[in-house]
Structure 1
């Protein structure tokens, strides 16, 4: 650093800090949140940390300085471990007579509390789903709204609770449901539900998983008033709950004898412990066939992917789409799968 100007020394010092924090965040998915519960919040900031390191790399590159090596090596390590946060390839789209489409959507109670200042959001969601025509629809924060009619799906399973406003998870299907149930999570309205559907000669298990929410208001004016220590403690407690919920879900899934599709809102990113454990040997449909950032949550500062569709390796991933429909605080995603006859 001795050949650097004073300003460049300050910038390189900041570069070292951001690179080390990013490296530490790469290690966190391999440790249970109970070990580093508060520090696990770094998983949420990986896209931001990656962007910062890209900017540091470009800064040193334009000056032809060897300091570029630090961020370059950090970014390369992240790519080797997790892949890119941005997929440059075009979305895969393969037509097949065996194709069927699975959509996942956290609908935030169909806007029952008017978070989005527009009329008839619930009807717009129904129209959107009808237009995109998924064969299976997995919904988190489902509310049996009087104006919501999804009867174009012949079969459904919903699991709702609550006194004033009933809400929970639901799965709608154009294929016959022969079995259904819920994986209950303690001390929370969140849970995981499942259905076994019959498609042709195959029986498929579809899970809808909704892990504990951080309950962080993303508006800047609200974040400014939040006590940072209290915010971190709440986040740490949430990550511990997510770990327990993941363990309960995996214990249930382990007993399943069918090929599996897992949909859900994990309230955590692809750089988290819960993502790594739930995905396991399943395929992430976005990584197989999507493109871009795959943003699924309306976060103002950088693109966040916290909603996922995974599938057993027996399924071919023939397509994936991330939508920009602003009908909730989440964006819907849909994957096209096929099973060979």
Structure 2
């Protein structure tokens, strides 16, 4: 510090704060939000903190100062413990004949209330799904829209609520569904549904999970100070609700005798407690075979990934793709996995 000029000392102070916050955000997914709900909100800012610390690394590299070690160390810890924020290459393996393609998509009621001003969005979603032709389709915020025909899937299971407008989660499959049901979450319309499908001699348990929404307006620049305070408190409470919902899902999943595929709108990032609990020892298919930021939600300020496909380690992940089609506030994702033999 003695060899630093005044401005550099100021920069290092802010650098230290950013590094500490990033380190804290690495620890928070290990701590139940019920205990640290206010601090848990920090996990949403991990992508921003990574970018800020990367900029500090570049700054100290240009200055050729040893202070570069601080943020460089924090970034290294995050890389080896949480993985990379951005994937530079897409991994693919040979697709076998026993592969199955799984699409996860929050369709936002097929734009029933015209959130997107474009006409015929529901038809475009239907055409997109038909074109990509997944073997299995897991949909959150599903609504049996009169203009949407998904009867090309041979089997389906849906769990709907609501009075005037029915909505909920749905599983569509080209393979027979021999068992299905719902994991109910208290005091909310969110839930998890499941279906057991049979492909050849294999029975696979599919889960479709929709955790409690954070209700964050993508246009954060329009928030007043009072709105921001309410948002901060509300997000903390939502984190606690998500913890309960994740635990209820795990209680059900742990009783399943079958190999598992999970599709979810987690309403939280890969740096959260909810993600860590739901994922468990499952494989995040984006980490295994995706590329880029893997953005799945239309957030204005930075790419955010809150939708996931997770599979048992026994599956071989052949490919993963995030589609750049904005027919909802979410982007669809699809993975192709090979069944274990």
TM-score band, normalised by shorter chain:
over 0.9
1:5-84 alignment runs, 5 A limit: 5-84=5-84
Instruction: Give, in angstroms, the shift of residue 228 of structure 1.
Output: 2.4
Aligned residue number for residue 215 of structure 2: 215
**Which residue in 2 is equivalent to 1:291?**
291
User: Is residue 96 of structure 1 aligned with residue 113 of structure 2?
Assistant: no
CA distance in 2, matches of 1:5, 1:221: 35
Q: What CA distance in whole angstroms lies between the structure 1 residues aligned with 2:222 and 2:188?
A: 24
The answer to whether the 8 Å contact 1:91/1:321 transfers is no
Aligned to 2:127: 127
Q: Distance in 2 between matches of 1:42 and 1:169?
A: 29
User: Post-superposition shift, 1:98?
Assistant: 1.3
Instruction: Report SS of the residue matched to 1:15.
Output: helix
CA contact (8 A) 2:110 2:143 kept: yes
8 Å Cα contact 2:136/2:174 also seen in 1 = yes
Find the residue that maps to 1:38 and give its secondary structure: helix
For the residues of structure 1 that align with 2:224 and 2:96, how far apart are their CA atoms? 51
Aligned counterparts of 1:238 and 1:339: Cα–Cα separation in 2: 36
1:270 aligns with 2:270: yes
Please give the residue correspondences for 1:164-183 in structure 2 after superposition, counting only pairs within 5 Å: 164-183=164-183
Partner of 1:199: 199
1:161 matched to 2:161: yes
Q: Is the 8 A contact 2:191 2:211 kept in 1?
A: yes
Counterparts of 2:251 and 2:78, CA distance in 1: 30
Cα offset for 1:303? 1.0
For the 8 Å contact 1:94–1:319, the answer to whether it is kept is no
1:288-327 Cα deviation digits (max 9, x unpaired):
1111111111111111111000101111111100111111
Q: Return the offset for 1:12.
A: 1.3
Q: Which stretches in structure 1 are left out of the alignment for 5+ residues?
A: none
1:158 is displaced (CA, Å) by 0.6
Question: For residues 260-288 of structure 1, what are the alpha-carbon distances to aligned partners after superposition, in whole Å with 9 as ceiling and x for unaligned?
Answer: 00110011111111111111111111111
> For 2:37, what is the secondary structure of its paired residue?
coil
Deviation of 1:225 (Å): 5.9
Deviation of the 1:93 alpha carbon:
4.8
Runs of 4+ in 1 over 3 A off after TM superposition: none
Secondary structure of the structure 2 residue equivalent to 1:327: coil
Cα deviation, residue 68, structure 1: 0.6
Alignment of 1:128-143 (within 5 A): 128-143=128-143
Query: Which secondary structure state, in structure 2, belongs to the residue aligned with residue 255 of structure 1?
Result: coil
Structure 2 Cα separation of the partners of residues 226 and 291 of structure 1: 38
Question: For the aligned residues, what is the CA RMSD?
Answer: 1.1
Which segment is superposed worse, 91-100 or 164-173? 91-100
